[in-house]
Amino acid sequence: MIYRFKALALLIALSSSPALAQDYVIHVNGIVCEFCSLGVTKKVSKLPFIDHSKFDRGVQVEIENQLVTIAVKPDAELDKDALFAAIESGGYNPVEIFELTSDGERKAYQP
């Protein structure tokens, strides 16, 4: 009986998928210089769901493409409203958001 319980517990543990960190890319109008990049990074990195172990405090900004990539903690969910509000509070305009797949492709964000 105890072996059945252990086998069942092991099967459940192996079949449940682990929480994976997720990266997102946001197209943001208005990012044109290094100062803009620093401002966005400062605002976004303060959000509780940002994974500071990746990028620069969880945020990577591509000035030339006006793209912001963020890393979300494995045990957290993206809060799009809070993210967009943080970006807007710096005077920038978040346009759209994409999930990054495991192979680096962008797909439309589906909350």
Q: Which residues contact 33 (CB under 8 A, 6 or more apart)?
A: 63
The pLDDT tens digits for 42-68 are: 999 999 999 999 998 999 999 999 999
First to last CA, the chain: 43
DSSP β-ladder status, 106-108 and 93-100: antiparallel
- When pLDDT is cut at 50, 70 and 90, the band that residue 106 belongs to is confident
Rounded average pLDDT over 14-25: 60
19-108 maps to CATH 3.30.70.100: yes
Is the pLDDT score of 94 beyond 90? yes
83, two tokens = 């993210």
The domain spans of the chain are 19-108
